[in-house]
A and B are shown apart, each in its own frame.
Chain A
Amino acid sequence: MGEKAPAILVVDDDRAIVGAIAAALEQEGYRVLRAYDGMQALDLALDPELRLILMDVMMPRLDGLSAVLRIRERRNLPIIVLSAKTEESDKVLGLSMGADDYVAKPFGLPELLARVRSQLRRYTSLGDVNAASGAIVSGRLAFDPASRTLTADGEPVKLTPTELGIVEFLMNNLGRTYPAEEIYRRVWGEEAFASENTVMVHIRRIREKIELDPKRPEYLKVVWGIGYKMEKK
């Protein structure tokens, strides 16, 4: 990445956490700016080299969500909120204030890094290309029906024919839940028998390829007792 290494602003009132995140990010080759409260974050957010912000919520002087709101007035760059609050409502609040992603504490470094990479890729390389070419987009994912290709954060995802069949079917019906038998019949083209396990195996494999944290999927979800669906984002 050399001299044009993207800068990332890490904001948290706990210096140890800032240190750990910074260490991990620097290992990845990013330049890291450190801030320990919302006001400092506002100052550093003006850095033109800045590409992404990791922002804690509960901080002295100016809390994270207020800082996100004020930064949003000036700059359009990805912001990932870090918070110990794990309620669904907290997550929704954070996202509605202008955050692009929400990571609950305590988090694992690999997951955090994956999200950072994902946001950066979308921010730097993702244009309106997919939308213009009639691709089906859901958050990080984009499926081009013409070329039958799936991209995650703009990167093409390699899928087996069966996996592609499942992804194609579910992407074409975003947000709708289908039972395993239905998926089986559509993808395999034959009547289902003990389809649950078969479908589930493929679902797991697809998750490995498209989800940032396969154990906590955000896109390819199981609706327990009903079926499977591709989340519409």
Chain B
Amino acid sequence: MDTKWKRSRAALGFLAFFCGITLVLHGALFLVSGLADASARQYAADSFQADWHNTQQVRDMLSRRLRNLIRIAAGEVQLNQFFSSWGSRRTGADLLEGWTQDKNILFFAQQGAQTAYRNSDELAPAQDEPTAPEGYGLVLSFDGESTRVWLNGRELDVYGTGYYDFEGTGQWLVPGYRNYPAEDGTKDVRVVLALIDRPQMFALDGTIRESAPYQVWQGLQRLRAEYLRSLAWLAIGAALLAGYVLLRKDKARADRLLARGTGKVWFEVKIAVLLLLAAALLSRMGPLGWYASTWPAETPADSFYPDLEAEVYYTNTNDWGEVTAIYGSGLPAERIFGTAEYTAALGLRDALVELAGYPGWISALFWAVYLLLVNDWRYNKRPWRRSICSALIARDLKLPVQRRLNQAAQIAVLGAAVPLCLLLYMVFVWNENWGYEPVTWCLFGFSAVFALLPVLFAQRLRRLWEDLGAVSAQAAAIRAGGLGQELALAERSDLRPLADDLNHVQQGLRQAVEDRTRSERMKVELVTNVSHDLKTPLTSILSYAELLEREGLEPPAGEYVRILGEKARRLSAMVQDVFEVSKAASGQLPVKLERLDYARLLRQTLADMDGNIAASGLALRASIPEEPVFITADSDRLYRVFQNLLGNALKYSLAGSRVYLTLTAEGGMACAVLRNTSADELRPGADYTARFVRGDASRTDGGSGLGLSIAGSFARACGGDLTVTTDADLFTAKVSFPLAGEG
């Protein structure tokens, strides 16, 4: 109930606003157009005259009828002559016939004693006031020199100062002024006219006709009704606006509701509606108005009215070819609506007054502006976002990039073709009148719009290659390991999907790297913890084994203890090896790189292991250059590499065989090669640098199986490489390092 009331109040508020504004607009516009200039004010005043005989329209109508009758009576007009009126051709006789049948104006016209045209026997010329039948209050009489007018038996002052003022009002345009005297040919013409008090319609050839007096009488009544109606509209509108002010909060709700509706309308449609309405209104004035108003420029070639009206280009005539009084007899052409001169002379004020004559269009434009611009922009955020263009772009973005660009290129080519065609047409089919044709300018505007398309495409291309640069820079950054910064392209960029995919790849990579780093760290932690946990009991075992050894136990117990101690020490070494190899494998081995002499390192190592070599019974053949071979490495780690390699060679070589150690520096690389003949058969294809791989798979002898693995890890950690090859029983280990420069 409550919401229903609220809703009706909103509707009421808006309705009051709408009706109030519309009514006030209509009333005000009518008054503006009705009171803008002197003649309009005259009409307005006339429409409120108690006696319609006192109006300018009646004066003009009767003056014209009098002038025409004077000419006909004087024989200046051939009655069988044709004249055109509104496309129909009539003769003067036809016209006279109509006048004769129309008893709203009684007339009598004669020249001398010969010709007499009359439509009533009751009307006759007299020296003073002619006799007129009852019901005909206004009587005109022309005596060949001047005209006299009686209204209800009282004579009116026709000539005033004696001069006709073309700008003035309230005058009779009849011969007899000093600046408009009667012509010589009409000296013996007598014309009497009488106007009925209450005009009637009459029938001619069985059809009902509206006679000129009837039209004027009705027009005045209608005009008065219209003025009264506009005043009523203004009053009602003001009252409604007062009601709106009371309900303005509820009306705002209605505004929001309307805005929700207009928000769904495409922006281009709104603009088109507004432009069409504005164009429709503007077509009533200005250059478009000129074009629209050239149509009635029909000149009566054989003018039936060779008097003052002959100067007037355009005259509005009624069915009878009679010039109705509405449009300015005697007025300069630029004051007469519809003439080119009129439009040319139209100032802004007059143009606005002119526009005020179209209150329907104006209020339509007003409401369109209110709904589609004012209200829409007040309640809808960025209303231009919902447009055909953005809908097209959204549809466009769903296509693959190559198709999208292909379409855009086609449209651009099409767009370039239109102005080009126009140009060619103008070059080959040039017409000098083109500059004056509005169609030409329309065409120019049209092709200018098309010429925009290639420009837009060029812009799009530019953005495309800028984005392409950004994307490839991003790809390069990812390749270089930069996983932090994501690529943000504009939402409408053609490469947006590509950038999004790249960001996804980057995210995946980052995740993978993080996972790997975490798992490596966990692995090292695990090995560290395990080796720590192994070391504690090992310490006890070692210590007690040594304590037992000191006891000097009797054999075989002493022998057992010795073996226990020896194995415990080996186990201890192995634990240390495992720890180191796992650290090296996870890349967490700290290295201290320095420039050192590879040859000296090998000589020192050989000297250091001199005792072991001698004890092994093997012959070591070393070929190491005397001059220094500089490399960059961690000296302690590299020593461990060769300690392990030599240890391996000494341990696993065939008894009495020779071990070869050579160092060469060639092609920027320093290569130390250690070759020995294995005592056991080597398994071809085995990777000896892998962890826990040994020549003998059964693993019953001394080594931990980590020696080569540690050597390889250390060599790589120092920036070198260890490769192991086997050829039959020949075991070859090659440790290579890039040469460091002199100095």
Spell out A's residues near B (CB within 8 Å): 14, 16-17, 20-21, 23-24, 27, 58, 84-86, 88, 105-110, 179-180, 196-197, 199-201, 222-227
Contact = CB atoms under 8 A, between A and B. Distances in A.
A109 B575 CA distance: 18
B596 A201 contact: no
B605 interface: yes
B543 A17 contact: yes
Interface stretch (B419-427, B449-457, B530-538): B530-538
Given A180-B600, A197-B606, 5 more contacts: A58-B532, A106-B541, A106-B572, A200-B608, A224-B604
B546 A110 contact: yes
B132 interface: no
Given A14-B540, A222-B604, A109 B547 contact: yes
B543 A24 contact: yes
Nearest to B629: A225
Contacts of A227: 600
A88 B607 CA distance: 27
A228 to B, nearest CB: 9
A158 B541 CA distance: 35
Nearest to A113: B546
A86 to B, nearest CB: 7
24 contacts: A14-B539, A17-B536, A17-B539, A17-B540, A20-B539, A20-B540, A23-B547, A24-B543, A24-B547, A106-B538, A106-B572, A106-B575, A108-B569, A109-B542, A109-B543, A110-B546, A180-B604, A197-B606, A223-B635, A224-B596, A224-B605, A224-B638, A225-B597, A225-B635
Contacts of A85: 532
A91 to B, nearest CB: 13
A110 B569 CA distance: 13
Given A17-B539, A225-B601, A109 B546 contact: yes
A180 B546 CA distance: 38
B532 A84 contact: yes
Nearest to B550: A27
A156 B481 CA distance: 59
Contacts of B598: 225
A14 B542 CA distance: 14
Contacts of A107: 539, 542
B633 interface: yes
Contacts, number: 101
B500 interface: no
Contacts of A16: 537, 540, 544
Nearest to B607: A200
Contacts of A106: 535, 538-539, 541-542, 568, 572, 575
Given A224-B636, A225-B596, A200 B535 contact: no
A106 B590 CA distance: 22
A110 B543 CA distance: 9
B548 to A, nearest CB: 10
B635 to A, nearest CB: 4
A14 B635 CA distance: 37
A180 B531 CA distance: 38
Contacts of B579: 86
Nearest to B590: A88
Contacts of B606: 196-197
B37 interface: no
B603 interface: yes
Nearest to A194: B603
B539 A105 contact: yes
A197 B544 contact: no
Given A23-B547, A224-B639, A105 B610 contact: no
A199 B606 CA distance: 12
Given A86-B576, A105-B536, A20 B544 contact: yes
B543 A105 contact: no
Contacts of B631: 225
B146 to A, nearest CB: 135
Nearest to A82: B539
B742 to A, nearest CB: 16
Given A106-B535, A179-B600, A201 B610 contact: yes
Contacts of A110: 546
B442 to A, nearest CB: 85
Nearest to B636: A224
Interface in B509-558: 531-532, 535-544, 546-547, 550
Contacts of A226: 594, 596-597, 600, 635
Contact of A21 (B543, B576, B596, B600): B543
Contacts of B541: 106
Interface string B567-578: 011001001100
B546 A108 contact: yes
Contacts of B590: 88
Contacts of A23: 547
Contacts of A27: 550
Nearest to B624: A196
A196 B538 contact: no
B281 to A, nearest CB: 88
A42 B382 CA distance: 76
Contacts of A24: 543, 546-547
Nearest to B533: A84
Nearest to B547: A23
A108 B550 CA distance: 13
A132 B450 CA distance: 101
B538 A222 contact: no
Contacts of A109: 542-543, 546-547
Contacts of B639: 222, 224-225
Contact of B607 (A14, A20, A196): A196
A105 B541 CA distance: 11
A21 B542 CA distance: 11
Nearest to B542: A106
A225 to B, nearest CB: 3
A225 B546 contact: no
